[in-house]
Amino acid sequence: MKEFKGRVVTPGVCTCEAVVTHGGFNTLASLQKALQFGDKSAKVSDQNNPDLYGKPIAGKALCLPQTIGSTTGGLVLYCSCEMKRNPGCMLFANRIDSLACAGAVLASVWSDASMPVIDELGEEFLDYVKDGMMITVKENGIVEVA
């Protein structure tokens, strides 16, 4: 097991299975079909992300460098939480962008979804974690990878 320390964006604790991308996560392209067509497992529909395409991310530890895409990203993230199709947590190697941050904060305030978000975990985190590893997020920004 290895520990990483990041900055808490939205608090919470969870333990879930990792899904990892080394490219930017396009929130709208990835979650649009899950939100429009009722896919409760939230299979990623962004064909430009070969790391995640077709993989379910609902309830998973989404490990990523950053989000990319349009200004709808925050709203899509918030809506995925409202519809219970959100990742179990989002773990950013880099500093979170303002749109993803807004969506995560709105979800933590306006919905009953629990989606801890930690950023600034570093490139070493993203190099270490692999799909299927178990991730535990603690309230203090500690992320354990087993």
Q: CA 70 to CA 48: how far, in whole Å? A: 15
Residues 6+ apart with CB under 8 A from 61: 14, 16, 17, 18, 19, 87, 88, 89, 91, 135, 137
Torsion angle in degrees (nearest 10) through CA of 84, 86, 87, 93: -150
Query: For the residues of 25-84, what is the DSSP string, one character each?
Result: EEHHHHHHHHHHH--TT-B---TT-TTTTT-B-TTSEEEES-EES-TTHHHHHHHHHHTT
CA distance 87 to 61: 6
- Annotated catalytic residue, options 41, 70, 80, 98: 70
Is-catalytic flag, 70? yes
Active site residues: 70
